[in-house]
């Protein structure tokens, strides 16, 4: 039996000891313990070091708001997690935990020297201390801050766990399974509403788990709890989820939940997901999240052993752990008195109850006296003592608002309570307004924006009876609103505990306030003094105070600190709290793993990978792939010993010399069909289409309405009312969406149908002087001679027995054909062509060779040589504009003043003076390399390759007034040297186009 465990007490299983470790030492807890309760049962309070000052810190809470007891947990490679809250992590046999933010050990930490440099680290220190000298940044400040900053260590290995996700729809979602939430679920469930009740704890019950004294409907609280859960369990329309946190409340009653499935298990089932994200769409939401206890702000309130009184009550009643041998209670609220009473009744000598109020309920006083507890009403606390654990509390009578002479109370725990803050984080996510309640000096829910009901302590009510009644009412209202007819469940409660309290800023002290360390945000080491300093230095908005001091920016997101910070800031400003405002709560409510957000979308399922019908052949034949849009495309086909450069040179040479074969299936394809198809094409594309004959193709250029190039591709006319449009690989969905937009909304009168056929067809490009020789014997139904089937022709025929749309087009400058066959025949056709092409040394090539061959001919790639600010004139494509057409998309813009002005960047060729130099794509271009820095950049390189055919490098670039600079030498400054290049045309190879005319 551990030293601080009370035999038989609590909800832990005293017959089931569980071994775990903390900082390498073995400890024993009980089944049902959290790490925090198990360590406390062993007398361990010191669980971490603070972020800035590395001050020793103990556990403060018993719940998700814990700021101090953040541990590293690990269950093997890739399964380590930093900043696990000891108050939430359940122990299991073999659990390994370590403290954080200390070096070399938790008891002796060198970083604690920061604690003595407090002046350096005061409010705004991020903004002030490290301003100068500049040279200190790299060598001093940055390394020091890097080492000191951050809590815990994140794992460096991939996460081996799986994470699930699912959608849920329900009538009523109840968040929080304390008395209010349970009552709401009972009302809604009994009315037949599809009800989901969730709680982030391991057990349902909320405050009932800590306060078993109440009697509900004649049963002790825990018996009533069992029967309520049994009843809910028996309703088919009700689901209860534990270990499930509502992390965010989004539009139209969508609430994100994260369910923790295996972190509490010693041996998780194989392949069980670690967590599950549930996206709940609820007709009605009941928020029954309760309230969070506020710390009191006084010098030394962060010493290990100082904790919230409500937490001590939870450790005592739920876990059967006394948090000390001689605790003292320090409070401004009734609730902490009951902690003292329960501890005393459990045999723990309470060193006193210190209450800042003079006017305390007579029953409480009588109850304390009858237990022999010393009472200090109208007292403040001025300091604590003790290094790694509190040893005493100094208290002083408050006389006229000032602290009188102090007395010291020996103790090993200080149990504080500064009142309670309704937990309204989720409500705030909905942009529901908050209303300041002057009487309780707290924010309560105001105007609602969603179908939400707030019940219990979350709207400032106190006590089990009130929470049950209010929850029952909220649940019934929610069920009614969701279309059911609910009765408000009734509960009879005795043994309830009332509670009122007073609100404070820093407690009065007789010590020098300048040396006081009265903490507000424990994790971020923000003190009351910091808040007042921030206000003095001009931070008058609470949002500024927050950022200047980092108050509320820790992992607990201000759950403990926000209201204390606000009270002190408004006191310093001399304004009422609501005028100072409250910082915005944003999701997630508590730290959430990336895994939960990713869910199934990781690894192969992170993004769709589209593959062509020919992809398996490429894979078998050693292709190196690259992603292009969502496609996986073969980049090159290296032979043994070849690098990319060698392989590409070989593929280029083989294609120009004899025959290359290329999988062009990823090209976007859209069928434009209907009696008005030609009119539609005339309006969409720059080119004229009326006179394009059936069986002929044309290069099509598509602009945005702003006149800039959006896409291009070859378009074939298959019949008077049917066009086969091709687009860039990445542009296909955009182009189709744009066409649909115009067709549906601007020209709904046109009789045109648009169909995406990208995946309908496998497209194989054959290029090279022997392309026709290969195809001719395989084609039926079309004469391939130059006369019968000239360049830019299209025909429907069969190729190798497969129905085909055959194009004579070229993206290489060689005699070229593109064979489209139904996708299911693509692989067979490819194999046939490879076999028949062997006699011509057919060479498969990938996208890299395609890029080189097209660049040698000056064919642009939209999105590489253009960037969304390039007009047809800029790209040298004025010839593609149907000047006689009255209108097309973008035509009017081509006459915009800035599009016809001089100084526009124009697409030109660049020939490096050193032919071996291949420029870097994206490199900036200057006219005069000797001008002072910063130089005037006049353009950049868009495409650059080694051309094996020309035995030199080639490049394209956009350059200011580039057309007028032909023959000029420009300069490309790079880190190693500045390269010189001469401006040229963009057609580097076969400028007459003779090779197309074979």
Partner 1 sequence: MLLIHCPYCDETLPEAEFVYAGEAHIARPEDPSTYDDEAWRDFLFIRTNARGRHFERWRHTHGCGRFFNAVRDTVSDRFLLTYRAGEPRPSDAELEELAK
Residues that bind partner 1 (CB under 8 A): 250-252, 254, 279, 281, 431, 449, 705-706, 737, 740-742, 744-746, 748, 886-887, 891-893, 896-897
Q: How far is the CB of 287 from partner 1 (least distance, A)?
A: 19
Rounded to an integer, what distance in angstroms lies between the CA atom of residue 944 and that of residue 927?
Answer: 19
Asked whether the beta carbons of 273 and 164 are under 8 A apart, the reply is: yes
Q: How far is the CB of 252 from partner 1 (least distance, A)?
A: 5
Asked whether the beta carbons of 151 and 82 are under 8 A apart, the reply is: yes
Q: How far is the CB of 898 from partner 1 (least distance, A)?
A: 10
Q: How far is the CB of 802 from partner 1 (least distance, A)?
A: 31
Give SS3 for 816: strand
Peptide bond into 103 cis (omega under 30): no
Residue placing its CB nearer to partner 1 in the complex, 587 or 769: 587
Q: How far is the CB of 258 from partner 1 (least distance, A)?
A: 16
Tell me the CB-side half-sphere exposure of residue 473, using CA atoms within 13 A.
Answer: 9
- Closest to 458 measured CA to CA, from 252, 249, 261: 249
Q: How far is the CB of 745 from partner 1 (least distance, A)?
A: 5
DSSP designation for 179: H
Residue placing its CB nearer to partner 1 in the complex, 748 or 951: 748
Neighbours of 503 (CB within 10 A): 17
Residue placing its CB nearer to partner 1 in the complex, 166 or 896: 896
Q: How far is the CB of 254 from partner 1 (least distance, A)?
A: 5
Rounded to an integer, what distance in angstroms lies between the CA atom of residue 764 and that of residue 819?
Answer: 5
Residue placing its CB nearer to partner 1 in the complex, 740 or 780: 740
Q: How far is the CB of 897 from partner 1 (least distance, A)?
A: 6
Asked whether the beta carbons of 927 and 903 are under 8 A apart, the reply is: no
Residue placing its CB nearer to partner 1 in the complex, 431 or 966: 431
DSSP designation for 498: -
- Closest to 956 measured CA to CA, from 988, 926, 929, 989: 988
Rounded to an integer, what distance in angstroms lies between the CA atom of residue 996 and that of residue 891?
Answer: 31
Residue placing its CB nearer to partner 1 in the complex, 274 or 891: 891
Q: How far is the CB of 564 from partner 1 (least distance, A)?
A: 32
Q: How far is the CB of 236 from partner 1 (least distance, A)?
A: 27
Rounded to an integer, what distance in angstroms lies between the CA atom of residue 629 and that of residue 472?
Answer: 54
Give SS3 for 447: coil
- Closest to 294 measured CA to CA, from 451, 147, 505, 437: 505
Sign of CA dihedral 943, 945, 948, 954: positive
Residue placing its CB nearer to partner 1 in the complex, 151 or 254: 254
Sign of CA dihedral 784, 790, 792, 795: negative
Rounded to an integer, what distance in angstroms lies between the CA atom of residue 129 and that of residue 305?
Answer: 33
Residue placing its CB nearer to partner 1 in the complex, 362 or 895: 895
Residue placing its CB nearer to partner 1 in the complex, 806 or 889: 889
Residue placing its CB nearer to partner 1 in the complex, 14 or 885: 885
Q: How far is CA 227 from CA 223, 224, 230, 628, in A?
A: 6, 5, 5, 60
Residue placing its CB nearer to partner 1 in the complex, 673 or 821: 673
Neighbours of 554 (CB within 10 A): 24
Q: How far is the CB of 761 from partner 1 (least distance, A)?
A: 21
Rounded to an integer, what distance in angstroms lies between the CA atom of residue 375 and that of residue 546?
Answer: 37
Q: How far is the CB of 746 from partner 1 (least distance, A)?
A: 5
Residue placing its CB nearer to partner 1 in the complex, 281 or 773: 281
Peptide bond into 588 cis (omega under 30): yes
Asked whether the beta carbons of 665 and 613 are under 8 A apart, the reply is: yes
């Amino acid at each position: 039996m551990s030293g601080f465990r009370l035999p038989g007490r609590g909800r832990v299983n005293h017959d089931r000891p569980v071994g775990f470790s903390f900082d390498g030492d073995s400890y024993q807890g009980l089944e049902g313990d959290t790490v925090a309760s198990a360590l406390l049962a062993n007398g361990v309070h010191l669980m971490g070091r603070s972020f800035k000052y590395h001050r020793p810190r103990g556990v403060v809470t018993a719940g998700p708001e814990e700021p101090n007891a953040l541990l590293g947990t690990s269950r093997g490679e890739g399964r380590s997690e930093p900043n696990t809250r000891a108050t939430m992590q359940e122990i299991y046999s073999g659990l390994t935990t370590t403290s954080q933010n200390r070096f070399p050990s938790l008891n002796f930490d060198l970083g604690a020297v920061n604690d003595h440099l407090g002046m350096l680290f005061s409010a705004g220190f991020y903004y002030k201390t490290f301003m100068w000298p500049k040279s200190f940044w790299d060598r001093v400040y940055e390394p020091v801050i890097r080492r000191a900053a951050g809590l815990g260590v994140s794992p460096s290995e991939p996460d081996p766990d799986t994470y699930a996700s699912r959608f849920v729809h329900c009538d009523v979602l109840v968040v929080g399974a304390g008395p209010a939430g349970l009552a709401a679920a009972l009302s809604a469930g009994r009315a037949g509403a599809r009800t989901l009740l969730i709680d982030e704890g391991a057990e349902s019950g909320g405050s009932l788990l800590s306060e078993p004294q109440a009697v509900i409907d004649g049963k002790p609280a825990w018996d009533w709890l069992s029967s309520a859960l049994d009843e809910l369990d028996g309703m088919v329309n009700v689901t209860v989820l534990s270990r499930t946190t509502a992390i965010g409340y989004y539009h139209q009653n969508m609430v994100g939940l994260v369910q923790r499935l295996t972190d509490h298990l010693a041996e998780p089932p194989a392949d069980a997901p670690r967590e599950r994200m549930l996206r709940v769409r609820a007709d009605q939401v009941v928020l029954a999240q309760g309230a969070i206890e506020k710390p009191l702000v006084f010098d030394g309130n962060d010493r290990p052993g100082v904790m919230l009184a409500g937490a001590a009550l939870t450790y005592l009643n739920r876990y059967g752990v006394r948090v000390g041998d001689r605790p003292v209670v320090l409070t401004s609220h009734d609730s902490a008195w009951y902690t003292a009473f329960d501890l005393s009744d459990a045999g723990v000598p309470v060193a006193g109850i210190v209450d800042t109020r003079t006017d305390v309920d007579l029953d409480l006083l009588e109850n304390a006296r009858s237990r022999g507890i010393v009472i200090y009403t109208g007292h403040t606390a001025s300091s604590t003592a003790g290094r790694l654990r509190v040893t005493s509390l100094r208290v002083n009578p408050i006389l006229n608002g000032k602290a009188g002479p102090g007395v010291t109370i020996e103790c090993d725990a200080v149990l504080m309570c500064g009142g309670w803050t309704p937990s309204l984080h989720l409500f705030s996510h909905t942009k529901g307004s908050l209303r300041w309640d002057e009487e309780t000096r707290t924010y309560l829910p105001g105007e609602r924006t969603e179908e939400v009901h707030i019940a219990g302590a979350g709207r400032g009510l106190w006590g089990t009876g009130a929470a049950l009644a209010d929850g029952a009412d909220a649940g019934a209202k929610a069920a009614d609103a969701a279309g059911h007819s609910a009765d408000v469940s009734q509960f009879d409660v005795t043994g309830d505990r009332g509670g009122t309290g007073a609100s404070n800023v820093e407690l009065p002290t007789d010590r020098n306030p300048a040396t006081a360390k009265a903490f507000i945000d424990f994790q971020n080491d923000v003190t009351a003094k910091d808040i007042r300093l921030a206000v003095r230095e001009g931070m008058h908005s609470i949002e500024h105070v927050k950022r200047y001091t980092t108050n509320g920016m820790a992992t607990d997101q201000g759950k403990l600190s926000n209201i204390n910070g606000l009270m002190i800031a408004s006191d310093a400003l001399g304004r009422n709290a609501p005028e100072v405002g409250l910082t915005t709560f944003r999701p997630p409510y508590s730290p959430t793993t990336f895994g939960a957000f990713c869910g199934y979308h990781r690894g192969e399922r992170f993004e769709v990978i589209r593959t062509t019908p020919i992809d398996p052949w490429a894979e078998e034949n050693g292709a190196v792939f690259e992603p292009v849009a969502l496609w996986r495309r073969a980049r090159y086909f290296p032979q043994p010993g070849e690098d990319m450069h060698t392989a590409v040179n070989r593929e280029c040479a083989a294609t120009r010399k004899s025959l290359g074969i290329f999988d062009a299936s990823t090209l976007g394809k859209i069928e434009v069909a209907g009696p008005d198809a030609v009119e539609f094409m005339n309006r969409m594309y720059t080119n004229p289409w009326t006179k394009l004959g059936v069986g002929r193709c044309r290069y099509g250029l598509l602009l945005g309405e702003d006149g800039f190039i959006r896409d291009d591709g070859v378009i074939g006319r298959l019949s008077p009312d049917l066009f086969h449009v091709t687009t860039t690989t990445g542009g296909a969905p955009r182009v189709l969406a744009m066409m649909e937009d115009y067709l549906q909304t601007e020209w709904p009168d046109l009789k045109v149908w648009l169909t995406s056929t990208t995946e309908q067809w496998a497209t194989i490009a054959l290029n090279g002087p022997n392309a026709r020789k290969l195809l001719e014997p395989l084609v039926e139904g079309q004469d391939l001679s130059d006369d019968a089937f000239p360049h830019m022709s299209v025909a429907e025929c069969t190729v190798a027995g497969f129905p085909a749309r055959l194009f004579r087009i070229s993206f290489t400058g060689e005699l070229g054909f593109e064979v489209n066959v139904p996708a299911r025949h693509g692989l067979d056709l490819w194999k046939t062509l490879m076999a028949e092409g062997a006699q011509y040394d057919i060479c498969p090539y990938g996208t890299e060779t395609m890029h080189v061959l097209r660049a040698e001919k000056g064919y642009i790639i939209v999105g590489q040589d253009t960037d969304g600010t390039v007009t047809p004139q800029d790209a040298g494509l004025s010839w593609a504009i149907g000047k006689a057409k009255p209108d097309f998309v973008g035509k009017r813009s081509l006459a915009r003043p800035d599009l016809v002005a001089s100084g526009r960047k124009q697409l030109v060729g660049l020939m490096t003076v050193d032919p071996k130099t291949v420029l870097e794509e994206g490199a900036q271009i200057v006219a005069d390399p000797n001008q002072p820095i910063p130089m005037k950049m006049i353009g950049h390189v868009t495409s650059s390759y080694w051309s094996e055919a020309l035995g030199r490098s080639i490049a394209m670039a956009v350059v200011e007034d580039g057309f007028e600079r032909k023959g000029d030498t420009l300069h490309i400054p790079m880190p190693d040297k500045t390269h010189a290049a001469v401006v040229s045309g963009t057609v580097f190879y076969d400028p007459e186009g003779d090779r197309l005319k074979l």
